Amino acid sequence: MQCSREVWPVEEELVRLVRNAQDARPGALDALLARLRPSFVAYFTPSIGRDDAEDATQLALMSIVRALPGIDPSQAIWYVVAVARHRLGKTRRRREHESRRYAPLEFAAAVESPVATDWDAEYHDVARALQASLAALPPERREALLEPLKGVTSSTLAAHQQVSLATVRSRRRRARTSLRATLASLR
């Protein structure tokens, strides 16, 4: 992009703003930065988008502030344009580097995690041990343990098994103890 009148301030205006800022006149630095900000945003946005243009603008304005004492006011427009070009180049290089650095999400989803693989194997080991432990339980204890998962109340199960409610609770407690022992053995 060239130093066009549509983007950058008029040279005479910029010379005046830079001189005033260098002389530390009240509000002069703010006036300079306020006048340059829309120019930088307009310069950056077509190439790098609005969000990155805002970031690049802030960095360019900080460069101007740091260099202000050494800027020749009569050459200020060319200095500002050089800062803009330099910042645009750095932003483009950073974006290109980032695009090579990250893989598409589809690739990441296809990579199998060793942690997930270990967890999956561990899960299956635990599930097999629990199934074997459940199968080894006497049928009435297995029912006492599993029926609440099906929504059957203890009193309904007691009536079905023709035992007292205390017996159903006792069977459930013994079944849980047996399952805890199975889980403890897996550690």
- Look at the domain 113-186 and name its fold: Arc Repressor Mutant, subunit A (1.10.10)
User: Model-level pTM?
Assistant: 0.53
Q: How far apart are CA 111 and CA 107, in angstroms?
A: 7
The answer to whether the CB of 91 falls within 8 A of the CB of 99 is no
Q: In the prediction, which pLDDT does 1 show?
A: 40
Q: How far apart are CA 36 and CA 60, in angstroms?
A: 10
User: Is residue 44 scored above 90 in pLDDT?
Assistant: yes
**Listed residue (16, 87, 25, 28) closest to 58, CA to CA:** 87
Q: How far apart are CA 22 and CA 74, in angstroms?
A: 13
116-154: per-residue pLDDT in tens? 667 777 888 888 888 888 888 888 888 888 888 888 888
Statement: 11-101 belongs to CATH 1.10.3080.10: no
Tell me where in the chain the CATH 1.10.1740.10 domain(s) lie: 11-101
Angle (CA) 60 66 70, round 5°: 110
How does DSSP classify residue 69?
G
Tell me where in the chain the CATH 1.10.10.10 domain(s) lie: 113-186
